[in-house]
Structure 1
Amino acid sequence: MTIRAVLTDIEGTTSAVSFVFDVLFPYTATHLPAFIREEAQTLAVAEQLDAVRAEAGELQADTERVIEILQGWIAQDRKITPLKTLQGMVWAKGYQAGELKGHVYPDAVEALKRWHALGLSLYVYSSGSVQAQKLIFGYSEAGDLTPLFSGYFDTLTGAKRDPESYARIASATTHKADEILFLSDVVEELDAARKAGMKTCGLVRQGGELAGHSYVESFSNIDPLVL
């Protein structure tokens, strides 16, 4: 079956993991408390704070306690939706102020542009929120890359190691699962995508291997049209 679409992970795939852990997370840890104190009464933020209270099982937690919970989740790299949503809000202000620039590997930029020009549909699936995904690509060091993408998926679609998540993504596009190539640096995610019927290719930018899957060190080594 011919590949007609590419679904890509972000961390460790299109972008350096260090960008998230060394730039974005510290930025959130520094700026989130003031952001919440200033915006806690706005509807969008208040809804997320209530979701944090529900997730933590502390429905009566005041604003300062919610901030404490969130800081703990950040330190633990928890994949919790209200945290990801609030992070996205904080990052949006940072990107818009020019304090943040999204990191995307040059080889990924070149390949994504080339594949788009060839008519392939491009999608993103990351544990970061859709908003955060759009910010990384929209305010990237290479400029606004969002026109290249046809859609974005996050943990609201499902867990990244669950085959059903990839089946849902395929059904949300105009492509059959076996027409989609999934790119990731995590073998369990590649396994799940394959079980859903997708083709896979791993990225090993720091060396190593991804057992059971084809893998490369750079996007420049991937040609979806000959897989």
Structure 2
Amino acid sequence: MATLELTNIKAIVTDIEGTTTDIAFVQDVLFPYAYQALPAFVRRHSESPEVAAQLEAVKLEMGQPDAAMDALIDQLLLWIDTDQKVTPLKALQGMVWIQGYETGDFTAHLYDDVAPNLQRWAAAGKALYVYSSGSVQAQKLLFAHTPAGDLTPLFSDYFDTRIGHKREVASYAQIVQKVGLPADTILFLSDIVEELDAAREAGLQTVQLVRPGTESSQAHPTVTDFNQLVL
């Protein structure tokens, strides 16, 4: 097995979908579950402060401050249908997924190489972070309900689109500030070239994960799984 050796890595920021987790889990399990359960969920919990705040954010995104509940639900479902990375949708999906995980409707998918390497890196003193377009809540839920058990204690922090979109350099500059380490000591792992481009422009080291179905790029170092990384 070919390996990729990287030096002076003190922190690792990992993407989820297509990097730690099969895209099919998100596309074929999480999204359909949210699509089916979300309408009843928002109607039932619309008066709770957490849900109400997100529904107000949906109205702002729509530019319709007086939108009725039916219109809000239609917009949320449209965003799911078109795979839009809209922050209030992601927050509401995370709330819906809680019930799915907690009732055992599904367990999070991780590639087999992920948990052992996350544990190894953490034991070696590497600070671990997640940066995903899914909400922080959804990230924590996923890593708390894996076949390897609850992995959330391994991570120092989580970032979502509230810090910025994943193809923008400024997002990674903010993450560097939050991590509090020199940018060139932070490794970003993702399957998406445009995300890696933005991270590299912010000074981070980058590696593309070429999982099944991912097209390899010549623009960044590549590996097919975490076992190939020597840090």
Distance 2:78 2:195 in 1: 26
> What's the counterpart of residue 211 of structure 2?
205
Amino acid at match of 1:221: Q
Runs (5+) with no aligned partner, structure 2: 1-6
Amino acid at match of 1:164: A
Post-superposition Cα deviations, 1:132-180, rounded to whole Å, max 9, x if no partner, equal 0000001112110001101100001111111111111011013111000
Post-superposition Cα deviations, 1:46-103, rounded to whole Å, max 9, x if no partner, equal 1111111111122222112111110001000011010000000000121111112111
Q: 1:58 aligns with which of 57, 64, 79?
A: 64
Q: Which stretches of structure 1, 4 residues or more, deviate above 3 A after TM superposition?
A: none
> What's the counterpart of residue 155 of structure 1?
161
1:131 aligns with 2:137: yes
SS at match of 2:146: coil
Distance 2:164 2:68 in 1: 30
> What's the offset of the Cα at 1:211?
2.5
- Normalization by structure 1: what TM-score? 0.96
Q: 1:44 aligns with which of 45, 50, 54?
A: 50
Distance 1:79 1:44 in 2: 19
1:180-191 equivalences under 5 Å are 180-191=186-197
1:119 aligns with 2:125: yes
Q: Is the 8 A contact 1:7 1:182 kept in 2?
A: yes
- Normalization by structure 2: what TM-score? 0.94
Amino acid at match of 1:157: I
Q: Is the 8 A contact 1:10 1:125 kept in 2?
A: yes
Q: Is the 8 A contact 1:5 1:179 kept in 2?
A: yes
Post-superposition Cα deviations, 1:1-51, rounded to whole Å, max 9, x if no partner, equal 611111100000000111100000000001001101110111111111111
Could you tell me the percent identity over the aligned residues? 53
Amino acid at match of 2:61: E
Q: Is the 8 A contact 1:160 1:189 kept in 2?
A: yes
SS at match of 1:156: helix
Distance 2:217 2:200 in 1: 13
The alignment's C-alpha RMSD in Å is: 1.0
Q: 1:13 aligns with which of 9, 19, 22?
A: 19
Q: Is the 8 A contact 1:102 1:141 kept in 2?
A: yes
Count of equivalent residues: 224
1:105 aligns with 2:111: yes
Amino acid at match of 1:2: N
Distance 1:202 1:154 in 2: 19
Distance 1:219 1:196 in 2: 23
Q: 2:101 aligns with which of 84, 95, 120?
A: 95
> What's the counterpart of residue 224 of structure 2?
217
> What's the counterpart of residue 90 of structure 2?
84
Runs (5+) with no aligned partner, structure 1: none
